[in-house]
Amino acid sequence: MQIYTADEAKLKKAEIQSRIVRGQVFIYPTDTIYGIGCSAKLSKGIQKIREIKQRPDTPFSVMVPSIDWVKENCILSKEAEKYLKELPGPVTLILKTKNGAAVAKEVAPGKDSVGVRIPDHWFHKIVEDLDIPIITTSVNKAGKMFMTSLDNLDDDIREKVDFAIDEGEKKGKPSKIIHLEGEEVKIRER
């Protein structure tokens, strides 16, 4: 696993974007905790993350390039439009999709909804400029504690990841999840 510092990642943005487009799996910082991701358009990388996390079919969320992406690919009720104002920020909005091709079917198997996130963090600029969504899920195996620094990265995960961006210890917690895909708004703090 190759490790970039945050400064190196900013300088080598084009290289990192090329690696994402090629389907590599990587660890990156957000405004909350570290995430593990890959292009949300490429099934092979998504399946690799499912194996790493031992989550065969639980839906993943995606970091999207922009609010415009959300408007183009998700159904927004009046209530959902209100919550859209919380982005960027430490929230994940679960929305019904209107474009089945926006992400690979392996992102949320059997679902007609997707979790969308726009972190208030410099790394999002890499995704915004790339203009494709990436998987965003905590770096851990199912049922285990999420990673707060590369120092506490599970060795098994380390062996299966192509690269990581190290920003030092993160002191946040996973994003708040706001379910907007049904009749009723449901908010889940983690």
Largest CA distance in the chain: 45
3-state secondary structure of 178: strand
Question: What value does the mean pLDDT of the chain take?
Answer: 91
CATH number at residue 142: 3.90.870.10
Answer with the residue of higher pLDDT: 185 or 65.
65
Tally of domains in the chain? 1
* Closest by Cα among 7, 14, 11, 116 to 69: 116
For residue 165, give the nearest of 22, 63, 57, 30 by alpha carbon.
Answer: 30
Q: Which residues span the domain enclosing 19?
A: 2-188
Contact status, residue 74 vs residue 87, Cβ threshold 8 Å:
no
Q: What does the pLDDT look like over 125-173, one tens digit per residue?
A: 999 999 999 999 999 888 888 888 888 888 899 999 999 999 999 888 8
pLDDT digits (tens, 9 = 90+) for 87-127: 999 999 999 999 778 899 999 988 889 999 999 999 999 99
- CA separation for the pair 32, 62 (Å, rounded): 15
Task: Say if residues 107 and 95 touch (Cβ distance below 8 Å).
Answer: no
Residue with the bigger pLDDT between 97 and 187: it is 97
Contacts of 106 (CB under 8 A, 6+ apart): 43, 46, 47, 50
